Amino acid sequence: MKNHIRKIIISVTIGSLLIFLSTSCNKDALLDKTPITSLDNTKALVTEADYIALTSSAYEPFQWQVGPYTVFPVMFQDIRADNCVSQWASYWVPGGVYDQFPIPANDPSVLGYWQKWYTVISRANTAINFVKSFTGFTTAGLQQRLIGEAEFVRAFAYFELVRNWGAVPLITKYIGSTTDQIIYPRSSVAAVYVQIQSDATAAAAVLPLSYSGNDLGRATQGAANTLLAKVNLYLKNYTATVNYCQKVINSSVYSLEANFADNWSLTNEYGKESIYEIGYQSGLTTDGYNNKGSYSYEFFGFLGAPSCFGNFVPRQGLIDMYDSTDTRKNATFILPTTYLPDLNEYASVETNLYQYFWTVPAALQSQASTRKYYIPVQTAEALPTIGSSPLNEKVYRYADVLLMLAEASVMGGGGDGQSALDQIRTRAGLASIPLTLQNVKDERRKELATEGWDRFSDLVRWGDAPTTLSFKGFKQGRDELLPIPQSEIDLVGSADLPQNPGY
């Protein structure tokens, strides 16, 4: 019996010891792990700089081109319209989808483009939410500016969404947890436009006219007014369009480059004609969406140059639009007759082979590459990877503003449309032509071709798409809009997220 008691005592002692030992380890240190290479949100937002960084992140998806999805804007405008063909044959499947109609609802790039702009919106919503409630700003006007920047990118993103998908879910609140509302039904086109105008107007009121140094590329008053001009053009509010264009013009911040090609010169980033552009740089992370460089040279570049894919081939119909004396022609295309100083040869040396054995899509009879995002071979070869071109991408140019003014003027919005059109013509080395809608349309196409922001949407808003794009199977009532990404419908349900008509 005594022995038995001894055993029990020892067992209890050891048992207690075990429990003591195990709890003596620092339980909190063991189980409360804070992120190491990311930040705890309660600690991330402390200083003014943190709120700047939070707002800046809303711009970052503008740089997304190739990652989980391929989302060059050129696919959705120039290829989807009549300016470019994805490429010869089949080297490039993501682009090939945009050569024809209908675009499938399960196309990865449809989801990618949707996600890209909604990520901008989400980050803008987050920034507005936190910036508004932060009381520690010491720099005068910074809080208002950051909110204005976020409102601009949010308006920009909703404009991309509404012109590509029509009525989309309209979210302007910060979603902070899975317990917040995450099912949003499709809103109405009108409501989305109201939001865009309200955001852009608010942004224009607080944003500065310009920046310098490390802030070049942030949203300006000019960018917000340009967006408002464009939105009103889409809404056929021609007077308002003229009005906003004149605001941009009268700000005296912008003017046309004397030489059209200088818009895409590495030595002229954020030039005087640029109202809004997407910044890139070489030498940083080069994988997927994290790439800080641009894939534009690798994807768009001239096939004869090293490592270029030569996608986005200009259609012959576009090339034929240009007069031989039009200085934009040589800056927009690399043709067999183009002399390339960096290669020290005529492009024909390389392009003669284009039709060689390639199964050329019927639409493509051209021997050409796009030139705007071409960079000299010597620069390209020195890049860490060919997919990290430092050349910025132009979004809004002053020329666009002049052309919008010209168009709105033709449509009765007032203003001196002829003078605006003449400025574009003169810079291109061409004589004046009368201010007619068709002339403005043609000029607009030639001026902005292959830049990726206008062609398809212009055709749709003009009502020209069904005729102009009939050759590639455009179906009225369906192909004006992209399909809602199928995976999104699968997730949310078609009651809240019904598919666009015809798909």
Partner 1 sequence: MLISVTALFAQTATISGKVTDSTGAVLPGVNVSIKGSTNGTTTNTSGFYKIAIPVSVANPVLSFSYIGYITQELPIQNTTNFDIVLSKVKSSLSEVVVIGYGSQSKRDITTAIGTVSGKTIESLPVYTSEQALQGTVAGITVTQNSGSPGSPLTIRVRGTGTAGDADPLFIVDGLQVPDINYLNPSDIASMSLLKDAAAAAIYGARAGNGVVLVQTKTGKRNADKPTITLNAYEGTQNLGHVPDLMNRDQWVAYYNAYETAHGGTTITNTQLQQLPNTNWYDEVFEKNVPMYNGNLSVANGGKNYSYYISGSDFNQEGLVGGKEGKSSYNRKNLKFNFETDIFKNLTLNVGADVVGETDNYLDENQAGTGVAILNYIPALPPVYPAYDPNHPGVPFNMGDISKPITVNGVTLPAVGAVTNPFFALMLNNNQAVTNIHVYNISGTWKPIDNLTVTSSYAYYGYYSAAGSFVPALDFRPYQNFYNTYADYTQTITQSAYSQWEGNAKYTFTNLTNQHLDLLAGFSVLNSNGNATSQSGSDFYVNTLKQVNFALIVDPTQIVNATPSAFATGLLSYYGRLNYNYKEKYLFSATIRSDASSLFGPTNRTGIFPSASAGWIVSEEPFLKESKVIDLLKVRASWGVNGNNFISPYQYSTIVNPQSGPTFGGQNTPGISIPYLANADVKWEKSTQTDIGVDMNLLNNSLGVTVDYFDKLNSGVLIPVGTPAYTGYASAAANIGSVKNTGVELLVLYRQNYSNGFAWNVSFNIGTDKNDVTSLGLDGQPISGGNIGYIFNDPITRTAVGHPIASFYGYELGHIDANGNFVFKDLNGDGKIDANDETYLGSPFPNFTYGATLGASYKGFDVSTFLYGSQGNKIYNATVRLDASFTNRPVSYGEAGAPANLLGSGATGTNQTEVSSYYVQNGSFAKLKTITLGYTFQKSVLRATKLSNIRVYLTGQNLFVFTKYTGVDPEIGQSSSDNPLDVGIDRGFNPQPKIILLGLQAKF
Footprint on residues 157-196 left by partner 1 (CB under 8 A): 168-169, 171, 175-179, 182-184
Is residue 71 near partner 1 by the rule CB under 8 A? no
Residues 186-245 that bind partner 1 (CB under 8 A): 211-218
Asked if 317 contacts 468 with a C-beta cutoff of 8 angstroms, the reply is: no
Among 32, 138, 320, 362, binds partner 1 (CB under 8 A): 32
Assign 3-class secondary structure to 349-396.
Answer: HHHCCCCCCCCCCCCCCCCCEECCCCCCHHHHHCCCCCCCECCCEEEE
Is residue 29 near partner 1 by the rule CB under 8 A? yes
Is residue 114 near partner 1 by the rule CB under 8 A? yes
Residues 305-324 that bind partner 1 (CB under 8 A): 306
Among 71, 79, 81, 97, binds partner 1 (CB under 8 A): 97
What does the alpha-carbon distance between residue 347 and residue 340 come to, in Å, rounded to a whole number?
7
Is residue 73 near partner 1 by the rule CB under 8 A? no
Select 62 or 76, whichever has its Cβ closest to partner 1.
Answer: 62
Residues 267-296 that bind partner 1 (CB under 8 A): 269-270, 278-281, 283-287, 290, 292
Alpha carbon 301 to its chain centroid, in Å, reads: 19
Select 402 or 481, whichever has its Cβ closest to partner 1.
Answer: 481
Is residue 108 near partner 1 by the rule CB under 8 A? yes
Radius of gyration of the chain (CA): 27
Burial 338-348 (b: 16+ CB within 10 A, else e): bebeebeebbb
Tell me phi and psi for residue 347, to 5 degrees: -60, -25
Cis omega (within 30 of 0) for bond into 61 = no
Is residue 7 near partner 1 by the rule CB under 8 A? yes
- Count of other CB atoms within 10 angstroms of residue 304: 21
End-to-end CA gap in the chain: 86
**Positive or negative torsion for Cα 122, 127, 128, 132:** positive
Smallest separation, CB 332 to partner 1 (Å):
23
Select 103 or 318, whichever has its Cβ closest to partner 1.
Answer: 103
Is residue 106 near partner 1 by the rule CB under 8 A? yes
What does the alpha-carbon distance between residue 196 and residue 158 come to, in Å, rounded to a whole number?
7
Is residue 487 near partner 1 by the rule CB under 8 A? yes
Is residue 356 near partner 1 by the rule CB under 8 A? yes
Smallest separation, CB 254 to partner 1 (Å):
18
Smallest separation, CB 98 to partner 1 (Å):
12
Is residue 35 near partner 1 by the rule CB under 8 A? yes
Is residue 95 near partner 1 by the rule CB under 8 A? no
What does the alpha-carbon distance between residue 253 and residue 105 come to, in Å, rounded to a whole number?
42
Among 382, 429, 462, 498, binds partner 1 (CB under 8 A): 382
* 380, amino acid identity: A
Distances (CA, A) of 7 to 17, 18, 25: 15, 16, 28
Interface segment toward partner 1; rule CB under 8 A; list 36-44, 227-235, 413-421, 435-443: 36-44
Is residue 96 near partner 1 by the rule CB under 8 A? yes
Among 151, 273, 350, 422, binds partner 1 (CB under 8 A): 350
Is residue 27 near partner 1 by the rule CB under 8 A? yes
What does the alpha-carbon distance between residue 214 and residue 195 come to, in Å, rounded to a whole number?
30
Is residue 246 near partner 1 by the rule CB under 8 A? no
Q: Comparing C-alpha atoms, which of 169, 197, 215, 237 is closest to residue 56?
A: 215
SS3 314: strand
What does the alpha-carbon distance between residue 180 and residue 306 come to, in Å, rounded to a whole number?
50
* 465, amino acid identity: A
Q: Which string of x and - marks every residue 48-67 that binds partner 1 (by CB under 8 A)?
A: -xx-xxx-xxxxx-xx----
Smallest separation, CB 201 to partner 1 (Å):
23
Q: Comparing C-alpha atoms, which of 371, 394, 390 is closest to residue 263?
A: 394
Contacts of 38 (CB under 8 A, 6+ apart): none
Interface segment toward partner 1; rule CB under 8 A; list 316-324, 352-360, 454-462, 474-482: 352-360
Smallest separation, CB 118 to partner 1 (Å):
4
Smallest separation, CB 325 to partner 1 (Å):
32
Tell me phi and psi for residue 95, to 5 degrees: -75, -35
Smallest separation, CB 151 to partner 1 (Å):
16
Is residue 344 near partner 1 by the rule CB under 8 A? no
Return the residue matching tokens 């960084």. 53
DSSP type of residue 84: E
What does the alpha-carbon distance between residue 273 and residue 263 come to, in Å, rounded to a whole number?
7
Q: Report how many residues bind partner 1 under the rule CB under 8 A.
A: 116
Among 83, 119, 221, 369, binds partner 1 (CB under 8 A): 119
Is residue 438 near partner 1 by the rule CB under 8 A? no
What does the alpha-carbon distance between residue 448 and residue 454 come to, in Å, rounded to a whole number?
7
Among 19, 190, 194, 431, binds partner 1 (CB under 8 A): 19
Residues 358-377 that bind partner 1 (CB under 8 A): 358-359
Is residue 12 near partner 1 by the rule CB under 8 A? no
Smallest separation, CB 129 to partner 1 (Å):
11
Interface segment toward partner 1; rule CB under 8 A; list 200-208, 425-433, 438-446, 482-490: 482-490
Contacts of 106 (CB under 8 A, 6+ apart): 485, 486, 487
